[in-house]
Amino acid sequence: MTEKEIWSIEELVSLTDTVQKEEIDFKGKQMQFQYCELSEEEEPKFVPLDESATEQEKLDFYTKVGTERIVKMIEKANKLNEKGSTITEENWGKLPTTLRYLIGNKIMGVEQDVTANFTL
């Protein structure tokens, strides 16, 4: 039986200052990017949605929150490691939607094939 690895508090805290590098396959080529975990104080702040919001308003709100969080994580890494900068806040919105979803899912630890969601 293998022994479980346990995170120390110091290791977890250090993640907020550690640039993490990832690579994903996109249309037959590799895309490299970097990001950094955020501490609570670095998380984007939003005014909560009104309880009467429609489903579309909720979807739009959570998409905006998620996007801002991902971009903030990427930009934090870019400041710590300028040489590794590939994605910036300026070019994020210009990237293909399927690529943005793949990157966001990788950063958030959600592994799925999002291209199926965009196939007609």
Residue range 56-82, pLDDT digits in tens: 999 999 989 999 999 999 999 999 999
Kindly provide the residue ranges of all beta strands, DSSP E only, lying in the chain, ordered along the sequence: 20-26, 29-35
> Is residue 15 predicted with pLDDT exceeding 70?
yes
Domain positions in the chain: 17-38+53-114
pLDDT for the residue numbered 2: 81
What confidence score (pLDDT) does residue 1 get? 73
What pLDDT does residue 120 have? Answer: 45
Tokens of 24: 């994903």
Tokens (6 digits) for 103: 């990157």
- How much is the pTM? 0.83
C-alpha span between 114 and 102 (Å, rounded): 7
